[in-house]
Amino acid sequence: MFRIENLTKTFGSGAGRFTAIDGLNLDIREGELVVLLGQSGCGKTTALRCVAGLESADEGVISFGDTVVFDSRRGVDVPPEKRDLGMVFQSYALWPHRTVRQNIGYPLKVRKLTKELKEEKWVEQAAELVDCGALLDRYPHQLSGGQQQRVALARGLVSRPRLVLMDEPLSNLDALLRVRVRNELHELHQRLGFAGLYVTHDQSEAMALGDRVAVMNKGRIEQIGTPQDVFERPETSYVANFVGITNVLDLAREDGRWRLKAAPGEPLDLATAADGLGAECQVRFRQSDAVIVPAPTAESRLRFQATVVDTVYVGRGYDVSVSLGDVRLNARADAAVAAGLDQGKTVTVEVPWHACVWYGADGLRVEAGPVESDLVSP
Amino acid sequence: MKSISDARPGAPRQGAQPVEERRDETGAGNTGANRRRAWTRALRRHALPIAAIIVIGYLVLAPLVRLQLLALADGGAGYARGFGTADIARTITTTLLLGLGSLVIGLVFGAVLAWYSIQLPPRARWMATLPILPIVVPPVASMIGWGLLLAPNSGTINRFIRSLPFYSGGDTGPIDVFTVPWIVFLTALGLTSFVYVFLRAGLLRVNYELVEAGRTAGDRPLGVFFRILLPIVRPSLIYGGAVALLLGLGQFTAPLLLGTIKNVKVLTTEVYFFANAGLADYGAAAAVASPLLLAGFGIVALQRVLLGEEQRFVTDGGKTSRYSARRNPVAVIVIGLFSGTVALLPLLALIAASLSPFWTGQIDVSTWSLDNFRELWNTPSAVSAVETSLIASGASVLVSLPIGYVLADILHRRSYDTRIRAIIDILISLPLGVPAVVFGAGFLFTYTAPPFVLYGTPWVLVVVYVTLMLPFATRMQLAARMSLGDSYQEAARVSGAGPLRTHLQVVIPMIRGSLGGSAALIFVLLTHEFAASLLVRSTRTQVMGTTLYDLWLNVSYPLVAAMGLVMCLVTAAGVILAVRLGGSKALESL
């Protein structure tokens, strides 16, 4: 078990003072890969570097099992080389003056794991693991980006460290290669079962790789859970936005009926919403769930009228951006419907209830109750 | 000094030639005629670079070759005379000591300074430019400053040490600046700046993740320094060391000014005395210059080889490297102390001496006045030397820049034959590798004889200066062209502008910062120039450096100091201009 408690780190002083990590708490279980997900500047890389010992936090405790590697109160700060880590860098950081073999063998050599290096052939094994067995005598500049990435991974894993840290390791690869290496990395983790901390800003990477995903914002973890949890039930408005639930409608309750703030006069076909909501709330839904229909269906759904702004063909259908008052929303239409969607036309948009996520005025998610069909207004 | 070649050597040949070759294969019937036609076309396409090779080839090679032919005449009689002097063995030893001393001291000091310079706290980061200052002070002036401080009898520092209560030595010393160890040490101290510039640039280029990767892989800080950091900056290390060695071997100013008094000789001073004695023996001068010439060629060759394998050391990752070595307040002290001692101390000595009525090494503020400057102002030869310096340097800048522009354009253009560009590249590199005093002897011999008899006119200075400045005029413009890229020019051409209009309205305006910077830099270097000027000067054409030397020989120290300060002021004005126009990078390209 790896534990980060109450970690805080500030950079600069005076007006340039900036809190990178603000009371971070995180546990990583043995064999688990935890992904720190967040926008650039949210503190995820700083957190990783604190765990690595490359950066010293201002406050907090970091422990690897029974060993405390950092404790601000007791003045413990174990240097990185004594933390038994593997690390994969964004730039790969392969040493240009060493061959692939020397690069991968370095962690064994400096840790004096001579037997593993010479007799048990850990370098060769690690290289085989990432499909680079044939590249051992080349120099890094003779490798392609994907190969460099694999070698960096092999170097991070070769000494079988307690914890593997990965700092956006796929972000320098092109899109197709990134998906491939991502899947290979997933397979590798399933096979080897190492404990890992993985930093990325790419939500698809986080979903694919993480046993658990921690979404960070302003130096704190906003939500941590399985990818399914985070993707389907984002606890805060910020997380929802970050995982792609980008359509937002603000609502206010007047005379017991919910009205859209953006267009109060607009007929809003809203059966019910959670009772737990106060006088104001926010509903969020994905573009893929907002469908333009030729005529209102009979089912109970979030339903509203909007004006077409633009239509873009995206293969297997159309992305339609519509406006509702001064709110811009993104919806979807199939080819038959999209044919008649001229700019300025008024259309009906429907979102199934299960696809709606509700947030109270404080930005926290509210569980919406089951919808009763008889409450649907015409 | 920038790297010798920024041009990409292995560029493929494009354009007409491959087409011609293909035609050769198909038209087997009249291959000979086709080949001749292809040749004519290639020649016509390369008319400009070939003309450039002829012109700069003459400027650079004629002095060296004619000198060498002279040395080899009569079965190498020049060599016999040059190496026949009684103390030649000692001369060679001293030269080697100067070179190796500069190498060792320069590398150690330079590495320490560079290492500390990247650990400067953010607020003291400007101090990183301080160790470069010794390059900016004219060497003639700073060596005279050291002479005033460390002369065995009257040197201020010696007087101070002797006045200490526990000192029990005699009336002179303890330091004798006119001996080999001190000449070597002071020379090396001055050359440390060059090593520093190369090493610092090398360290700054290192992607710091490489160091962190070593730490997380389990290595100690010292292990990472020796196993990762030093090997990665190896090219800068070798290159910086080689430059220090070369400059040390070719060092002329310090041995001439300080060494002559106690008969300390090196090869460069031998070249000077052979070429400049009553009966100028150019053959002997050329002969003793040969070892230096070979070392120079060697360095230029080494540089090309090193550049070839440099890509192995390119460490750029995806992100720009963020160097985050831990801050170290000691860095401020180390860098401040070095820069203060090496650059400031001799300057202060010059100021004190120039304000005193006579120089005994004692500083007595009550006697200070500006009389020496007034006397200098009333000495026609001194005033005309300043004028000549300014005019010759200015004129050389005006000639150098267009030549450098054309050469940079040729080197930049990949459509020219690789071999032709390589020849030009080597030719313009030579003035960096060959000591100026060797060139000076060659110039003196070449321009006192037909076809171009220029000796005694200011023109000889301009020709000499333009030749010496070829590398600087070209390199900075080439670097600017490379960072500019081709797309702006291509955009202009497809918009309908001809080549000339493209150069005038697109390229030149866009690199005007570098143009201004290199103009100022060349001006500074030329107002410094001492070795070559000393050889090609005549009674009518004196420059600041040569006048300073004459005053030094006449032992009028206060006047010497005043003249040295004037030289420093002219330089300072040039440096400020250089930084204004070319940014702080301009300093580093010195």
Domain range list for chain B: 67-151+177-353, 366-590
Cross-chain residue pair B217–A171, CB shorter than 8 Å: no
Q: A241-255, A266-280, B261-275, B347-361: which range is least confident on average?
A: A266-280
The long-range contacts involving A68-75, CB below 8 angstroms and separated by at least 24 positions, are none
Q: Band of the pLDDT at B169, cuts 50, 70, 90? A: low
Give the Å distances, CA to CA, from B566 to A58, A296, B521, B528. 54, 91, 18, 11
Cross-chain residue pair A92–B312, CB shorter than 8 Å: no
- More confident position, B103 or B318: B103
Task: Out of A54, A81, A171, name the one closest to residue B219 (CB).
Answer: A81
List pLDDT tens digits, range B489-521.
Answer: 777 777 777 788 888 888 888 888 778 878 887
How far, in Å, CA of B72 to CA of B284, rounded? 10
Cross-chain residue pair B217–A107, CB shorter than 8 Å: yes
Q: Is A24 exposed, middle or buried (0-12, 13-18, 19+ CB in 10 A)?
A: buried
A43-67: average pLDDT: 90
A249-267: average pLDDT: 77
What's chain B's average pLDDT?
78
Q: Which chain B residue is nearest to residue A93, measuring alpha carbons?
A: B210
Range from A132-141, A170-179, B11-20 that averages highest in pLDDT: A132-141
Which of B216, B222, B230, B233 best tests the A interface by mutation, with the highest count of A CBs <10 A?
A: B216
Q: Any residues with CB less than 8 A from the CB of B291 and at least 6 apart, and which? A: B92, B95, B267
Q: Do domains B67-151+177-353 and B366-590 have the same CATH topology?
A: yes
State residue B15's pLDDT score: 42
How far, in Å, CA of A355 to CA of A364, rounded? 17
- For residues B408 and B477, the answer to whether their CB atoms sit within 8 Å is yes
Whether A105 and chain B come into contact, CB under 8 Å, resolves to no
Cross-chain residue pair A110–B312, CB shorter than 8 Å: no
Task: Out of B213, B232, B319, name the one closest to residue A97 (CB).
Answer: B232
Cross-chain residue pair B215–A80, CB shorter than 8 Å: yes
Q: How many CB pairs under 8 A join A and B?
A: 93
Cross-chain residue pair A89–B213, CB shorter than 8 Å: yes
B386-408: average pLDDT: 90
- More confident position, B414 or B145: B145
Closest CA to A194 of A215, A211, A207, A182: A211
CATH superfamily of the B67-151+177-353 domain: MetI-like (1.10.3720.10)
Q: Please list every residue in chain B whose beta carbon sits closer than 8 Å to the beta carbon of residue A79.
A: 215, 220-221
Cα of A87 to nearest chain B Cα, Å: 6
How far, in Å, CA of B176 to CA of A294, rounded? 101
Q: Please list every residue in chain A whose beta carbon sits closer than 8 Å to the beta carbon of residue B123.
A: none
State residue B9's pLDDT score: 41
Parallel, antiparallel, or unpaired for β A59-64 and A67-71? antiparallel
State residue B4's pLDDT score: 39
Q: Where are the alpha helices (DSSP H) in A158-236?
A: 175-192, 203-209, 227-232
Q: Any residues with CB less than 8 A from the CB of B301 and at least 6 apart, and which? A: none
List pLDDT tens digits, range B337-376.
Answer: 888 888 888 888 888 888 877 777 777 777 777 777 887 7
B376-394: average pLDDT: 84
Range from A320-324, B74-78, B288-292 that averages highest in pLDDT: A320-324
Q: Please list every residue in chain B whose beta carbon sits closer than 8 Å to the beta carbon of residue A155.
A: 213, 217
State residue B318's pLDDT score: 38
Which of A97, A103, A142, A201 best tests the B interface by mutation, with the highest count of B CBs <10 A?
A: A97
Cross-chain residue pair B217–A81, CB shorter than 8 Å: yes
Whether A188 and chain B come into contact, CB under 8 Å, resolves to no
B155-181: average pLDDT: 77
Task: Out of B209, B219, B311, name the one closest to residue A89 (CB).
Answer: B209
How far, in Å, CA of B550 to CA of B537, rounded? 12
Q: Please list every residue in chain B whose beta carbon sits closer than 8 Å to the beta carbon of residue A87.
A: 212-213, 216-217
Token reading at A16: 């340039």
Cross-chain residue pair B232–A83, CB shorter than 8 Å: no
Collapsing DSSP to helix, strand or coil, A225 comes out as strand
Question: Is the model's pLDDT at B32 over the cut of 60?
Answer: yes
Cross-chain residue pair A86–B216, CB shorter than 8 Å: yes
Question: Is the model's pLDDT at A368 over the cut of 70?
Answer: no
State residue B502's pLDDT score: 82
Q: Is A269 exposed, middle or buried (0-12, 13-18, 19+ CB in 10 A)?
A: middle
CATH class of B366-590: mainly alpha
Q: Band of the pLDDT at B582, cuts 50, 70, 90? A: low
Cross-chain residue pair A84–B315, CB shorter than 8 Å: no
Cα of A377 to nearest chain B Cα, Å: 56
State residue A92's pLDDT score: 86
Cross-chain residue pair A89–B212, CB shorter than 8 Å: yes
Instruction: Report the Cα–Cα distance between both ends of chain A, in Å, rounded.
Output: 56
A310-319: average pLDDT: 88
Q: Band of the pLDDT at B403, cuts 50, 70, 90? A: very high
Cross-chain residue pair B209–A91, CB shorter than 8 Å: yes
Q: Any residues with CB less than 8 A from the CB of A254 and at least 6 apart, and which? A: none
ipTM for the whole complex: 0.74
Range from A279-293, B232-246, B489-503, B527-541 that averages highest in pLDDT: A279-293
- For residues A36 and A21, the answer to whether their CB atoms sit within 8 Å is no
Question: Is the model's pLDDT at B320 over the cut of 60?
Answer: no
Q: Please list every residue in chain A whose beta carbon sits closer than 8 Å to the beta carbon of residue B312.
A: 96-97, 139, 141
Whether A353 and chain B come into contact, CB under 8 Å, resolves to no
Cα of A331 to nearest chain B Cα, Å: 36
How far, in Å, CA of B56 to CA of B423, rounded? 11
Range from A32-41, B322-331, B405-414, B429-438 that averages highest in pLDDT: A32-41
B421-446: average pLDDT: 83
State residue B194's pLDDT score: 81
Q: Band of the pLDDT at B311, cuts 50, 70, 90? A: very low
Token reading at B534: 């000393």
What's chain A's average pLDDT?
86
Question: Is the model's pLDDT at B395 over the cut of 50?
Answer: yes
Q: Band of the pLDDT at A270, cuts 50, 70, 90? A: low
Whether A97 and chain B come into contact, CB under 8 Å, resolves to yes
State residue B314's pLDDT score: 46
State residue B12's pLDDT score: 43
Q: A148-152, B35-39, B187-191: which range is least confident on average?
A: B35-39
Whether A76 and chain B come into contact, CB under 8 Å, resolves to no
B51-70: average pLDDT: 86
Token reading at B222: 């010292």
The side-by-side arrangement of strands in the sheet containing A212-217 is: A85-88, A163-167, A195-200, A33-37, A212-217, A220-225
Q: Is B219 exposed, middle or buried (0-12, 13-18, 19+ CB in 10 A)?
A: buried
Q: Would you give the DSSP letter of residue B124?
A: G
A292-312: average pLDDT: 86
Percentage of chain B beyond pLDDT 70 is 87
State residue A33's pLDDT score: 94
Q: Band of the pLDDT at B315, cuts 50, 70, 90? A: very low
A52-75: average pLDDT: 90
State residue B1's pLDDT score: 39
Question: Is the model's pLDDT at A34 over the cut of 90?
Answer: yes
Question: Is the model's pLDDT at A369 over the cut of 70?
Answer: no
Question: pTM of this prediction?
Answer: 0.71
Question: Is the model's pLDDT at A37 over the cut of 90?
Answer: yes
Q: A58-67, A108-117, A345-354, B14-23: which range is least confident on average?
A: B14-23
Q: Band of the pLDDT at B10, cuts 50, 70, 90? A: very low
Whether A52 and chain B come into contact, CB under 8 Å, resolves to yes
Q: Band of the pLDDT at B427, cuts 50, 70, 90? A: confident
Q: Band of the pLDDT at A310, cuts 50, 70, 90? A: very high
List pLDDT tens digits, range B453-496.
Answer: 777 777 888 888 999 888 888 888 888 888 777 778 777 777 77
Q: Band of the pLDDT at B17, cuts 50, 70, 90? A: very low
Whether A141 and chain B come into contact, CB under 8 Å, resolves to yes
A199-216: average pLDDT: 92
Question: Is the model's pLDDT at B435 over the cut of 80?
Answer: yes
